[in-house]
Amino acid sequence: MNKNLLILTLSQVFSFTANIITVFLSGIVGSQITSIKFLSTLPTALSVVGTAIFTIIVAKIMGKIGRRLGFIFGALASSVTCLLAAYAIIQQNFILFCISHFILGMGIAFAHQYRFAAAESVEQEKVPKAISTLMLAGIVSSFLGITLANYTKNFIPNHLYVGSYLLLAVLTFMPVIFLFFYKNNEKTKIDFNNKYIGRRLSEIIFQPRFVQAIIAAAFAYAVMSFLMTATPLSMHVMEKISLEKTGLVLQFHLVAMFLPSLITGHLIKKFGHSNIIYIGTLFYVITIILSLFEQTYSNYMVALIFLGLGWNFLFISGTSLVVLTYKEEEKFRVQGINDLIVFSTMALASLSAGILLSLTSWETMNLLCIPFLVLIVLSTFRADILSRK
């Protein structure tokens, strides 16, 4: 692990707590400060919508001012926005709470660029391992974020969860300190006057391997976000399972998302991207099957663990594969398009999660994911066939 990769990993630990605490608490907080219950997950969804909308802008900012300043700006934006969310809870203002999470999506969009920066910090053959190393930060984030959010939820008397968001403001500020030691190492310097000199965008995105990569990554995130966003409401609000047990299920889900990163890079190198994508899809199928049984604490636990494993295999495979489809001078443009597609898909999934859970059931939500798994398999099979010609 080189210096830049170490700094990126440490920064990711604290930056990713924004995702963790948002998923864990925003739906529950939303259900307490709005009388329209199917809008409870709207703040969660708007954070993803914000991420999707800001991805292209973030990629352009990175291209103009470099990774270091871009990441610092993103961390500062996240920290200030968390203070706004805390104020919204004090005021019981659902609209302001939603706005704060939409803006928080911008900070999250910056944080998602860490994986591309990690890929750029190593030689090409080590890209899957570098991305896997960065993903491991999510394990620390999950336990750090959920444990401290639970611990500080009563920090401000008579204002439940305000303390959790004040804590999040501190956590998301921490990368600013680490990033002062980060060194920009882009091979191609891009400034405000440079013109794009790469291939046409259509030529890049219609490559079979790019299509395979983007579908694997986008639907991996969409299915995971769709089910994970609904989990706290399904468990805590509908099934009356305690908040502590709900948090524990999410923690183990997040461990399953990131712990396999210790070996995912090695598995991709040994068995190839496509085979790992097939296995990731199989893990999602197991999650769906488990939803057909009685919804107990243990059932949620096992199902969410397999959901995390599937996401890890699919997302890391898709991300490391897309890196191989563009040239150095094309990276910021393609990375922006990649994240726009991935997080727009994820945003639609998050937006629909609360509504569909209130209108249908946990079992139906799982079954609705099947067509997306079919698309992942078909796009991978197509890319494999065309690559042999």
> Per-residue pLDDT tens for 326-359?
887 788 788 888 888 888 888 788 778 878 888 8
pLDDT value at position 1? 59
Average pLDDT, the chain: 88
| Burial class of residue 387, CB neighbours in 10 A (0-12, 13-18, 19+) | exposed
Q: Enumerate domains of the chain plus CATH numbers.
A: 3-179+199-387 (1.20.1250.20)
pLDDT at 196 over 60: no
The tokens describing 155, both together, are 């920090």
- List, in order, residues 6 or more apart from 120 with CB less than 8 Å away: 185, 186, 331
pLDDT at 268 over 70: yes
pLDDT tens-place string over residues 153-167 = 999 988 999 999 999
Helix (H, G, I), strand (E, B) or coil at 17: helix
Q: Give the side-chain half-sphere CA count within 13 A for 6.
A: 5
| Burial class of residue 22, CB neighbours in 10 A (0-12, 13-18, 19+) | buried
DSSP letters, 235-251, are IIIIS---HHHHHHHHH
Question: How many Cβ atoms from other residues are within 10 Å of residue 215's Cβ?
Answer: 25
pLDDT value at position 189? 46
Highest averaged pLDDT of the listed ranges 27-31, 101-105, 116-120, 240-244: 101-105
Q: Decide which of 381 and 183 is more confident.
A: 381
Number of alpha helices (DSSP H) and beta strands (DSSP E) in the chain: 17, 0
d(CA 132, CA 245): 28
Instruction: Identify the band that residue 104 occupies on the pLDDT scale cut at 50, 70 and 90.
Output: very high
pLDDT at 124 over 90: no
pLDDT value at position 355? 83
Q: Give the side-chain half-sphere CA count within 13 A for 244.
A: 1
Instruction: Identify the band that residue 244 occupies on the pLDDT scale cut at 50, 70 and 90.
Output: confident
Q: If residue 69 lies in a helix (H) or strand (E), which one and from where to where?
A: helix 42-90
Handedness of CA 31, 74, 64, 330 (dihedral sign): negative
pLDDT (mean) for 56-82? 91
**Cα-to-chain-centroid distance, residue 236:** 22
Q: Give the side-chain half-sphere CA count within 13 A for 235.
A: 29
pLDDT (mean) for 304-333? 89
